[in-house]
Chain A
Amino acid sequence: MRNRDIVMLLGFGLAITVAPVFAHHGNSNFDTDKKLVLKASVTEWVWANPHCWLKFDATDEKGNVTHWIAETSNPADMTNLGWSRQVFKPGDHVIVTLQPVKNGAPIGRVMQVVLANGQTLSTRIAGVFGPEVDAPKTPDASK
């Protein structure tokens, strides 16, 4: 984990009881023990199969800017979770929580995004997926 990339690290204590939805590939690239919380300025939101991805700039306390790319699941899953193609536009200021990849590149997978209006968008199986889903017990349960 490169400290300069971390603008705000709000702690690892938040209980993540269910895993993000990532259908096509597993989590072998991702450091599932890490969670970064980044203050972000959106540069692009790509609504595509098999994964959507969010591009954004994160600036640390020293003013260093890192360009991040963080994937989500596909449009069908994201729509079920309340996301849409129009949910981000370039220049939006959001807070992105993600799991980074293990090789140190500024790439990750989104766990949640807090929009400027305070709305939280999650990538987790919750809400619309309903309590009937066999919720994985740990963030690694997609293995």
Chain B
Amino acid sequence: MLTRLLMSLVPAAALLCFYLAVSPATQAQQSAPAQNAPPPALWNTPSIAPKQPQSPSGPAPRRDISGIWDAFAAGIQPTGVKSHAPFTEWGEKMANTYKPGDGPRKVALGLINDPLDGCDPAGFPRDLFFELRPFRIAQTPDQILILYEYQKVWRAIWTDGRELPEDPEPRWYGYSVGRWQDDYSFVVDTVGLDERTWLDNAGDPHSEEMRVEETYHRVNQDTLELTVKVDDPKAYKEPWLGLNKFTLRRQPASFDIREMICSPTEAEEYKKTVAEPATR
């Protein structure tokens, strides 16, 4: 298992090295005057929260959403999305089989059947609706890459003009293409999403027919607003917004993105040591 785990980390490391080598945005950001002050600590620095007082931000750069972003505590959303459209009959049926640990339908610790408890992938868009921890957006000529702290996964969003696949084989994180709606708004469409993932921590379901639209709007140098539209006619009676102009604050280039990796060994030990005895 250890070998498999290590092997799975190799592509991520390679990707990161590639990005660091090629990205002009990184070099520009690191050499900007505001970034020259030595960081107070190189490891495990806490995030700067979105609404923390700050000096006036500079204007948003054109067609650039690169950088490290964080919503701090607001990104955790332990009780699920704020609201969603009514379930269809199918959506309702699926929701009733999901036993979440939090939200309106929460059950006791030992009765939860959340796929995350066994360290299955959170998948997309649950990675936006739950545990949206610090993440890095990197721009290359053909893709925008998003590297997440939570579960240490990344997404690749194609910007080379390709179309979405017509009959995609489902993936945990789907297939994404993106385009600039204007100089400050980047829109991403995603399809081909694995039905086994939950939408949020409250056990809201989705189907493979779901289509998700993310809009990243760069308000100024330090602020990004994220809006996420869920369109899943099989599970919900109408499209709805999971996040609406959700504020993300840019972090210093020196910010150390930690890892929050679900280890099956640790999760099993937690289950045996805490969850089950607490529920018996």
The answer to whether B274 and A51 have CB atoms under 8 Å apart is: yes
Footprint of A on B, CB under 8 Å? Answer: 44, 46-47, 49-52, 72-74, 76, 78-79, 101-103, 106-109, 112, 114, 116, 130-131, 133, 149, 201, 258, 260-263, 266-267, 269-270, 273-274, 277-280
Q: Which 10 A-B pairs have the closest CB atoms?
A: A25-B101, A132-B51, A26-B102, A48-B266, A101-B278, A26-B106, A80-B46, A128-B46, A107-B278, A29-B278
Q: Does A103 contact B (CB under 8 A)?
A: yes
* Contact call B112/A129, Cβ cutoff below 8 A: no
Give 7 A-B contacts (CB < 8 Å), ordered by A residue. A21-B76, A24-B101, A28-B108, A49-B267, A53-B274, A69-B274, A130-B49
Structural contact, B106 and A76, CB atoms closer than 8 A:
no
- Evaluate contact between A51 and B270: CB separation under 8 angstroms: yes
Q: Is A138 engaged at the interface, CB distance under 8 Å to the other chain? A: no
Which DSSP category, helix, strand, loop or mixed, fits chain B's interface?
Answer: loop
Which of A28, A75, A101 is within 8 Å of B107, CB to CB? A28
Question: How many Å lie between the Cα of A73 and that of B133 in the bound state?
Answer: 14
For A107, what are the chain B residues with a Cβ–Cβ distance below 8 Å?
274, 277-278
Q: From B73, B78, B133, B267, name the one whose CB has the most chain A CB atoms within 10 angstroms.
A: B73
Write the nearest CB–CB distance from A133 to chain B, whole angstroms: 5
Indicate which residue in A24, A46, A48, A105 contacts B201 across the interface (CB closer than 8 Å): A24
Kindly state whether residue A125 has any CB partner on chain B within 8 Å.
yes
Partner of A103, one of B51, B106, B274, B280: B280
How far is A6 from B123 in the complex, measured between Cα atoms in Å? 43
Per the bound structure, the CA–CA distance linking A55 and B131 in Å amounts to: 26
Q: Is A79 an interface residue (CB 8 A)?
A: yes
| CA–CA, A14 and B76, complex, Å | 27
- How does the 8 Å CB contact mask read for A70-90 relative to B, with 1 for contact and 0 for none? 010011100110000000000
Interface centre among A29, A48, A69, A101 (most CB of B within 10 A): A29
A105→B278 contact, CB < 8 A? yes
Docked Cα-Cα span, A48 to B261, in Å, equals: 9
Complex-state Cα separation, A21 to B75, whole angstroms: 13
